[in-house]
Amino acid sequence: MTGGPLSNAASWRPLIPELILAVGTIVVLAVGLGRRAASRGWLLALALATLLGAVAATPLTMEPSIPVGQEAPGAVRGLALFGGLLARDGFADFFKLLFGAAGAVVVLSSFASREGRGDEPGERALGGVLAPAASIASPTAGPPSSGEPRRGDRDAAEYAALLLSVVLGADLMAAATDLLTAYLALEFVSLLSYVLAAFGRRSRRSAEAGLKYAIYGGVATGAMLYGFSWLYGLAGTTELAGVRAALASAPPLVSGTILALCLAGLGFKMAVVPFHSWCPDVYEGAPTPVAAFFSVVPKAAGFALAFRFLVGSPEATLSVAGADAGAALVTGQGPATVVASVLAVIAMVSMTLGNLAAIPQRKLKRLLAYSSIAQAGNLAMALAVGSPAAERALLVYLGIYLFMNLAAFLAVTALVRAGEGDTLDDLAGLGGRAPLLSLGLTLAVLSLAGLPPLGGFVAKFAMFSATIERGAAGGGPIFYALAAAGVANTVVSVYYYARVAKVIYFDRPRAGAPARLPVPLSHAALVGITAAGVVALGIYAPPLTALAEKSALLWPGP
């Protein structure tokens, strides 16, 4: 790092975005605990101010980085904070922007509308934040006695605080360069996610989702912690760079066991096979805006951490000639290491299983959950390839994935808020009943399939290009197999994505369905904005690709 690790005192200034998030969380909690009822509007404004402030603070507090093309071998871009526990570099900043944007969109979606019949179809409106605070159907509601905060709004403050905290934790996950901070940040995100998943108070499915998430996550992160303890014993240090070097030079049985344990925790967060079984139940049970949040923020944070852990290193300039390939877990050139092969297999299996399992799904949220597993497989291709091009592809893919996945989930949210159910049959004939919402959902789903001229194609092109480049640069047949699996899965995935579009436009509406769907304007606007982002990035991707190039951890090399 330029100038060596910073001391504790000097490390606070680069952490201003995280500090803003922390302060905002505390303020939101305090506002919610007060005696006077805090209206949802003020909570929304506070949460938005915090998130957007953190996002704005990121470029403003960034240290000037060495321009691309002028690095001297061995020098790195960025700062090491707190003596090497956290990093402040372009890679972490990219994810800060991503998480802040995702958090802002989800907060807007959760708070924006007072109308609507609640979140779970067919169930009585919940007393939680995701239903109108004064809902007629809820037995505990009624005219609030003066001075007593309404139950719904107190939950709203907790909800907002939880969301902000998860964003904070995710920021720390993306910046972690030490085993301890990695574990702390990961558990921070996980524990709060368990609570968020169970946030639908009256819904049994939500409670089940939270419980399943907690149990599965507990075991997975526990296994990871055990692996970390072995790593510490092996390496004598908890710094990622030293740990990686020790792991690369350990006997195969030892390193294999440790990696399997660590991948349990990382894979759980990324939702790749074989650590994916929590995903469909949690996404289906959690309230829909929360599921939208889960599909982007913890997953992307998991990928960021996994990339730092497995591939990216401040010291190992993986693509400059003379780098010692033996010291790296995943190399960017030369034949594939064992770790890279295992990651490639994980990626292929995730894609395939996610796509095949999504085909028979009738419930939208489960379908989107399996689609997220398949997309995680696509993203994991970048981990297996490990080259600078793959890293850029990962960043571009995550940026576009944010838009298209949020658009899809927000469309489901809007659908449920408008009084419909969340199964595929409820989408029947939506094209005539809610034209703009249908268009948004169709664009999101076709972009997830990877069809031009939408953003999903640019993302897939970047990913497949990086994979084939690695294969062509002497990587061996595993990378060609990976690319072939990727394209084959694209075709398979189109089957169920196009089926969503087909049901929306081709099928007749159910008997008795209203002719026009009263979609709240706020939800329609959010779907519209995210869908417009998908189209815009497909037609003109350079802003995102330029940002990804600037943020990259690995250098293109000579």
Partner 1 sequence: MVITRRVPFVLSGALVAAAIAGCIVAWGASARAGDAPPPPEHAGLLHVRPSSVAFDRAGEAAQVTIANGGAGPLAVTAVRVASVGEPDFTTGPVPRRTLGPGESLAVTVVYRPRAGGPRQSFAALEIEHADGPGASTGPRVDIIALRGGEGRFLLTLLVFSPLFGLPFLLLWPRGRERWLRWLALAATLVPLGAAARMLATFDPAFPRAAGNFGYQMVQHVVWIRAFNVEYHVGVDGLSVGLTALTALIATVAAIGSWSIPLARNLRGYLSLLLVLETGMLGVFVSLDLFLFYVFWEMVLVPMFFLIGLWGGPRREYAAIKFFLYTLLGSVLILLAIIALYYASRSTILVDGTPAAHTLDIPKLVHLNDFDEHPALLGFKFANLVWVLLFVGFAIKVPLVPLHTWLPDAHVEAPTAVSVVLAGILLKMGTYGMLRLNWAILPSATVWASPVVAGLGALAVIYGGLCALASVDLKRLVAYSSIGHLGFCLIGMAALTPIAVNGAIFQMLSHGVVSALLFLLVGVIYDRTGERGLDAFGGVATVMPRYTAVFALGFFASLGLPGLSGFIGEVMTLLGSLGRFRTATVVAAFGLVLAAAYNLWAIRRIHFGVLPERWRAVLAGRDLDGREWASLLPLVLLALAMGLYPAPVLELSAVSVSDLLALFGLPITGLGGGL
Which stretches of the chain bind partner 1, using CB under 8 A?
A: 39, 41-42, 44-45, 48-49, 52, 55-56, 59, 64-67, 70, 104, 108, 112-115, 392, 431-432, 446, 451-453, 457-458, 461-462, 464-465, 468-469, 472-473, 477, 480, 483-484, 487-488, 490-491, 494-495, 498-499, 501-502, 505-506, 520-522, 541-543, 545-549
**CA 371, CA 367: separation in Å to the nearest integer?**
6
Tokens at residue 536, please?
A: 């815009």
Q: In this structure, are residues 213 and 282 in contact, taking their beta carbons and an 8 Å threshold? A: yes
Residues 6 or more apart whose Cβ sits within 8 Å of residue 405: 292, 295, 296, 368, 372, 375, 444, 448
CB of 524 to partner 1, least distance (A): 10
**Shorter beta-carbon distance to partner 1: residue 234 or 532:** 532
CB of 336 to partner 1, least distance (A): 15
CB of 333 to partner 1, least distance (A): 13
**CA 355, CA 375: separation in Å to the nearest integer?**
9
**Shorter beta-carbon distance to partner 1: residue 190 or 442:** 442
Closest CA to 536 of 403, 346, 370, 342: 403
Residues in the chain: 558
CB of 437 to partner 1, least distance (A): 14
**CA 193, CA 340: separation in Å to the nearest integer?**
30
Q: In this structure, are residues 313 and 184 in contact, taking their beta carbons and an 8 Å threshold? A: no
Q: In this structure, are residues 198 and 155 in contact, taking their beta carbons and an 8 Å threshold? A: no
**Shorter beta-carbon distance to partner 1: residue 83 or 419:** 419
Assign 3-state DSSP to the chain and report helix, strand, coil percentages, each to 5. Answer: 70, 0, 30
Q: In this structure, are residues 306 and 396 in contact, taking their beta carbons and an 8 Å threshold? A: no
Tokens at residue 369, please?
A: 């959950």
**Residue 239 pairs with which residues in a beta bridge?**
178
Residues 6 or more apart whose Cβ sits within 8 Å of residue 204: none
Q: In this structure, are residues 301 and 523 in contact, taking their beta carbons and an 8 Å threshold? A: no
**Shorter beta-carbon distance to partner 1: residue 227 or 486:** 486
**CA 344, CA 434: separation in Å to the nearest integer?**
41
**Shorter beta-carbon distance to partner 1: residue 226 or 480:** 480
**Shorter beta-carbon distance to partner 1: residue 39 or 257:** 39
SS3 annotation, 325-394: HHHCCCCCCCCCCHHHHHHHHHHHHHHHHHHHHHCCCCEHHHHHHHHHHHHHHHHHHHHHHCCHHHHHHH
